[in-house]
RNA sequence: GGAGGGCUCGCCUAGUGGCCGAUGGCGGCGGUCUUGAAAACCGCUAUGGGGGCAACCUCAUCGUGGGUUCGAAUCCCACGCCCUCCGCCA
């Protein structure tokens, strides 16, 4: 969500953002509603002011005068009621449009309609070469008894999976390692709800646009969050933080649920695109300062790269195009990790800066040293998301005899074993 | 699931229909005093919207949303959350 004043003063910048992000938002209608809303607000204010003074007069009046006042104000009350209704309905329409306002993307973002316009900005590592025919993660896992797919789908339908035995330990090792890396970098470890109310989903920007992507539990007016970010933002919703508390850095771990409606029949095999997964997410709330936010963006990207490098997985860092980055993003960098079975790099991490777009929605504020109340900037990035990263790991580190080399950093979590 | 109690300005608290955007204390900030500090004393100390160049004016907000009333923190209804007890349960 953008600042209304900013929209009034820079409508062209907003129109431009709507265009390059491929959105459907009528900025002129928004401006018109904003103006109408302000006009109605003014009228309602005046009417209520009058109502208050009338009430005071009433208190002082005698019975005869009171009867007279009641009669006089019947019509006025009706008018006030109508004004209030108009204000409410205009406000509702305005809010609907405001929730669709996009963050203005940064100058460096490639302009393009979708991920095809993304640009690789750096690479690390070389895709492994095998002197045998490598298996994909599904065949490898089944051969080793590390996963069940057919049976899992009997239980939970398409895209379901079961991890078994050592795969369970390996998955947990990835998360434990990610938490250790982030803990060492000063992040507060947080295990957060995945079952959430509507408000934090709107606050993060997952709703209203992403409704089709989110599991809904109508009986309880609840939803299953697709990322820990939802809870982490929601934790501070409505608060005015002390500037001294910033930056807030969280490493949030949670199960994540996504309906994958827009990807039906894509990646249906294996562990790449599933409805339920486990993720450690990095999340930062920092002062409303672009330079500081940029530093955190680099830091979040750096933590993810540290993890991938320690795991020995080749990856590329991608500068995401305007059409790929989503409504609220200022800047987005995906990290794509090499998957031998696909012969390509696939997204395992996504690092985003949102400036104050999310804080505004979630109503998270802070008090600056000089007492000014501001909306902070928020950023987030994946640290480890499994089983997708687990699949990358076993594919890349497999051996000819269908075993998997354990990266050194994971060995402490696997009883010191260097081979599974 | 059942029964009860509660939700007021950072924290605690006063307030049962108009004098209440709201009392008092604590905390915080500024000042006086002091060599310095403490104590004491004085002052300030919510957020959002609208109007105005500005000083400032105005409206809204006492968990949320409705209702009653000329007028609601206060009365009524629904919902949310917290606490206590019983039951159930990982």
Is the Cβ atom of A55 within 7 Å of strand B at any atom? Answer: yes
Is the Cβ atom of A185 within 7 Å of strand B at any atom? Answer: no
> A144, A159, A249, A258: which one is catalytic?
A258
Contacts of A325 (CB under 8 A, 6+ apart): A21, A105, A109, A331, A332, A352
> A198, A292, A305, A347: which one is catalytic?
A347
Whether the per-residue pLDDT at A72 is higher than 80: the answer is no
**Distance in angstroms: CA A406, C1' B38:** 62
**Distance in angstroms: CA A56, C1' B16:** 20
Tell me the average pLDDT across A289-300.
97
Angle between helical axes of A290-311 and A166-184 (0-180°, round to 10): 140
Contacts of A142 (CB under 8 A, 6+ apart): A149
Cβ–Cβ under 8 Å, residues A39 and A87: no
Catalytic residue status for A388: yes
Is the Cβ atom of A237 within 7 Å of strand B at any atom? Answer: no
- Given this chain, do its domains A4-98 and A115-414 carry the same CATH topology? no
Pairing of strands A248-257, A276-286: antiparallel
Report the share of chain A in percent with pLDDT over 90.
80
Smallest Cα–Cα separation from A149: which of A230, A246, A270? A270
Is the Cβ atom of A42 within 7 Å of strand B at any atom? Answer: yes
SS3 content of chain A, % helix, strand, coil (to 5): 45, 20, 35
Smallest Cα–Cα separation from A96: which of A215, A235, A202? A202
Q: Domain A4-98, CATH 3.20.20.70 — does that match?
A: no
Residue with tokens 């910033």: A246
Tell me the average pLDDT across A176-191.
97
Whether the per-residue pLDDT at A368 is higher than 90: the answer is no
Cβ–Cβ under 8 Å, residues A194 and A257: yes
pLDDT in tens, A374-418: 999 999 999 999 999 999 999 999 999 999 999 999 999 999 999
Smallest Cα–Cα separation from A227: which of A281, A175, A160, A188? A281
pLDDT bracket for residue A59 (50, 70, 90): confident
Pairing of strands A344-353, A215-217: unpaired
**Distance in angstroms: CA A195, C1' B1:** 22
Helices within A21-165 (DSSP H only): 27-60, 63-98, 137-144, 150-156
**Distance in angstroms: CA A24, C1' B55:** 44
Q: Write down the pLDDT at residue A81.
A: 86
pTM for the model: 0.94
Cβ–Cβ under 8 Å, residues A154 and A348: no
Q: How far apart are CA A290 and CA A292, in angstroms?
A: 5
Decide which of 3.40.50.300, 2.60.40.1260, 3.30.930.10, 3.30.499.10 is the CATH code for A115-414.
3.30.930.10
Instruction: Give the domain ranges of chain A.
Output: 4-98, 115-414
């Amino acid at each position: 969500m953008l600042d209304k004043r900013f929209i009034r003063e820079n409508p062209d910048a907003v129109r431009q953002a709507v265009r390059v992000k491929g959105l459907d938002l009528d900025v002129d209608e928004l401006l018109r509603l904003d103006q109408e809303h302000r006009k109605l607000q003014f009228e309602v204010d005046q009417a209520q002011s009058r109502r208050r003074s009338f009430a005071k007069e009433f208190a002082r009046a005698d019975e005869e005068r009171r009867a007279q006042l009641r009669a006089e104000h019947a019509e006025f009350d009706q008018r006030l009621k109508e004004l209030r209704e108009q204000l409410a309905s205009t406000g509702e329409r305005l809010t609907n449009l405001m929730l669709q306002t996009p963050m203005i993307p940064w100058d460096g973002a490639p302009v393009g309609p979708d991920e095809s316009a993304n640009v690789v900005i750096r690479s690390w590592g070389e895709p492994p070469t095998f002197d045998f025919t490598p298996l994909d993660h599904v065949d490898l896992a089944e051969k080793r008894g590390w996963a069940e797919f057919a049976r899992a789908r009997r239980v939970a339908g398409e895209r379901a999976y079961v991890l078994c035995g050592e795969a369970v330990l390996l998955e947990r090792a990835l998360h434990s390692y990610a938490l250790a890396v982030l803990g060492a970098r000063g992040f507060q470890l947080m295990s957060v709800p995945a079952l959430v109310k509507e408000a934090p989903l709107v606050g993060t920007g997952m709703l209203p646009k992403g409704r089709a992507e989110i599991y809904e539990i109508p009986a309880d007016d609840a939803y299953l969050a697709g990322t820990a970010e939802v809870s982490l933002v929601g934790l501070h919703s409505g608060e005015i933080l002390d500037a001294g508390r910033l930056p807030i850095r969280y490493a949030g771990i949670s199960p994540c649920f996504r309906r994958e409606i827009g990807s039906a029949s894509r990646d249906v095999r294996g562990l790449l695109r599933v409805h339920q997964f486990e993720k450690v997410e990095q999340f930062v709330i920092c002062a409303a300062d672009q330079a500081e936010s940029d530093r955190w963006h680099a830091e979040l990207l750096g933590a993810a790269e540290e993890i991938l490098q320690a795991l020995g997985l080749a990856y590329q860092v991608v500068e995401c195009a305007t059409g790929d980055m989503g409504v609220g993003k200022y800047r987005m960098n995906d990290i794509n990790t090499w998957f031998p079975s696909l012969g390509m790099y696939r997204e395992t991490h996504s690092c985003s800066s949102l400036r104050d777009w999310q804080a505004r929605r979630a109503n998270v504020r802070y008090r600056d040293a000089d007492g000014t109340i501001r909306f902070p900037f928020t950023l987030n990035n994946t640290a480890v998301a499994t089983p997708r990263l687990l699949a990358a790991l076993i594919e890349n580190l497999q051996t000819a005899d269908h075993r998997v080399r354990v990266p050194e950093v994971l060995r402490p979590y696997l009883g010191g074993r260097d081979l599974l």
